[in-house]
Amino acid sequence: MPVAPHPAPTAITPAPGAVTLPRPGADANTDPRRLYRTTRAYATRADKALYIADKYASILRGSVLDVGCGDAPLRTLVADPTRYIGIDFSGAAADIVLDLDHAARTGAGLPIESTSVDTVVCTDVLEHLEHAHAIFDELCRVARERVIVSLPNPLLSLLLGLLAGSGGRTKYYGLPVDPPLDRHRWFFHFDDAVAFVSTRGARNGFTPEQIDAENRAAPSWRGLDGRELLALEAVRNGTMWAVLRRTEAA
C-alpha cells in the first residue's frame, strides 16, 4: 500500500548524530536538554498514545505509520489523521491487518513503499515477535525521516516482581498450561535495547537522534556485602524510547 510522498515535517534539528542517553537520577521526560520530552506518564494504551502525541508532536505532523496500532488511539492525536495508517494483526481499527511474523517469515514485509512515510511508530511491539530483527529493518525501509521505537526492560520487571513476592513469575514469560495469546519472545535489559536500535539502525542508514528511558522506581536491593545489586542503569531504567533519524539515502 503506497503512501504519497510529502515534504518532511518541520522539527527541531540537533547536531548530526546527536544522542541523548539517560543520566543517573535524571528525569528523561522533563529534562530541558531533551529534544523530545513530556510531563505525561502512562499506564494504559490510551495514556501511552497521549504520551507519544505530546512528546513527539514535532515529528508527527506528516504521514505516520503506526505498526502494532491496537485500537489506534494515536490516530486522532497526530496532526493530520487522514495521513495516519495503522497496522495490526487484528481489530477493526487497523487500516492494514497483517501478521508481522508471517510477513517477515515469508519475505513479504510491510505492504508499504520504501521511504514513503515521514515517521514510523512501533512501540512495545518488537519484543513480541520471533522475527523482530526483520521487522525492525522493515520499519527503517519504509521511513523517510524517522522511526520511533520503544522496548521494555524485562529484567527490571522480573526483579521488581521478585521483590513484590511474585515468585519470579512475569506476565509475558514462563510456561503457562495453555498457550497464551500474548507473550514476549526476548529477554534483555536496557543496554541491550539501546545496542539493538543503534547498531541495527546504523545498518539501515539511521542514527539515534534521542534515546531515553521511562523512569521507574527501582527499590534498593543490597547483597550480604552491602553492595547495591541494582546500581546499573541497564537494570534500573524502565522502557527505552528511541528516535532514529535517517542519515543515508535508501
DSSP string, 165-234: T-TT--TT-S--SS--SS--S----HHHHHHHHHHHHHHTTEEEEEEEE----PPP-B-TTS-BTT--HH
The answer as to whether 98 is a domain residue is yes
pLDDT digits (tens, 9 = 90+) for 19-45: 454 443 445 556 667 789 898 988 888
The answer as to whether 126 is a domain residue is yes
pLDDT of residue 15: 36
Neighbour tally for 201: CB within 10 Å: 23
pLDDT of residue 162: 66
Average pLDDT over residues 178-204: 88
Average pLDDT over residues 188-197: 90
Alpha-carbon distance of 23 to 111, in angstroms, equals 39
pLDDT of residue 163: 66
pLDDT digits (tens, 9 = 90+) for 51-73: 999 999 999 999 999 999 999 99
User: What is the residue type of 148?
Assistant: I
Instruction: State the residue range of the domain holding 65.
Output: 45-246
The answer as to whether 165 is a domain residue is yes
Model confidence band, residue 135 (pLDDT cutoffs 50, 70, 90): very high
User: What is the residue type of 38?
Assistant: T
Q: Is the pLDDT of residue 166 over 70?
A: no
pLDDT digits (tens, 9 = 90+) for 94-118: 999 999 999 999 999 999 999 999 9
Is residue 7 within 8 Å of residue 63, measured between CB atoms? no
Q: Is the pLDDT of residue 213 over 50?
A: yes
pLDDT of residue 89: 92
Alpha-carbon distance of 156 to 229, in angstroms, equals 12
Enter the pTM of the model: 0.83
Q: Is the pLDDT of residue 215 over 50?
A: yes
Alpha-carbon distance of 48 to 151, in angstroms, equals 13
Model confidence band, residue 139 (pLDDT cutoffs 50, 70, 90): very high
The answer as to whether 209 is a domain residue is yes
The answer as to whether 8 is a domain residue is no
Q: What is the CATH number of the domain that holds 226?
A: 3.40.50.150
The answer as to whether 108 is a domain residue is yes
Number of domains the chain is built from: 1
pLDDT of residue 27: 53
The answer as to whether 29 is a domain residue is no
Higher pLDDT, 96 or 161: 96
Alpha-carbon distance of 19 to 207, in angstroms, equals 8
3-class SS of residue 58: helix
Is residue 104 within 8 Å of residue 128, measured between CB atoms? no
The three grid cell numbers given for residue 138, joined into one nine-digit string: 522493515
The answer as to whether 2 is a domain residue is no
| pLDDT > 90: percent of the chain | 52
Alpha-carbon distance of 75 to 206, in angstroms, equals 25
